[in-house]
Amino acid sequence: DVIKGWIEDDYGKSASNVSSTTFLNQKDIVSFLQKLSQVDKQNFSPSAQEEWDKKYLELLYGLCADSNRYPHSLRQEVFQKVERQFMLGLRAKDPETRKKFFSIYHESLGKTLFARLHYIIQIQDWDALSDVFWLKQGLDLLLAILVEDQSITLAPNSARLPPLVASNYLPESSAMQHQIADVSEVPDASSLTFEGLIHKHA
C-alpha cells in the first residue's frame, strides 16, 4: 500500500511536474516490484496471501495497462521486466485476473502465426510457469489470432508438392492388378529376419 501510494502520488501530478518532483523514478519502481514479486509467502495465512496477491496484482496490472495515468515507457518497463519475468498475472488463481493479464500479452504481440510462434518458442522464458501447465498459455496465444469464419490455407509462396496420384479414380483392371501385386509381394516369414531385410535392401 505504501509503494502504491508513492507511485500514484507521483504520477497523479501533472506531466510537467512528474520528472522533477517524483519520489520514485522508473528504475526504482521496477526494482521494488521485482523484490515484491519474490516475497516468500509460505508463512502467510491463506487470507493474508489472498489479500497480498489481490492488491499486488491490481497494482501490477494498473502499471502495465493504465495508459491514462502512467506513461508508455513505465508501462513497457514494468511489463517487460516484472510481469514477463515472473508471470504472476498468468499464474493468478482468479480467472478474471488471468484474463486481464492475458489481454496485455495478446495486445503486445504481433497478430501473425510466425510472430506468435517466434515469441513462444524463442523469446519468452517460461521458467516462471514451470510448476504449471504453461503450454496452455502458449496455445491460447496462438488461438487468440484464429479467424473463425475463414478456412486455413497455405500462403501463395508456400512450398507445395505435386500430388502423388493424378486422380482418385482407378480402373477396375488397374485396381485388380495392384491387389494381385500386393498379394504376390507379401514376404514369407524367413525374409522378415534382420539378415533377410539387410540382404533385400543391400
Question: For 72-99, what is each residue's pLDDT tens digit?
Answer: 999 999 999 999 999 999 999 999 999 9
pTM for the complete prediction? Answer: 0.68
| CA proximity to 98, closest of 113, 83, 108, 110 | 83
Whether 167 has a pLDDT exceeding 80, the answer reads: no
d(CA 36, CA 56): 8
* pLDDT for res 25: 85
User: Which one is predicted more confidently, 196 or 60?
Assistant: 60
Whether 181 has a pLDDT exceeding 50, the answer reads: no
Whether 193 has a pLDDT exceeding 80, the answer reads: no
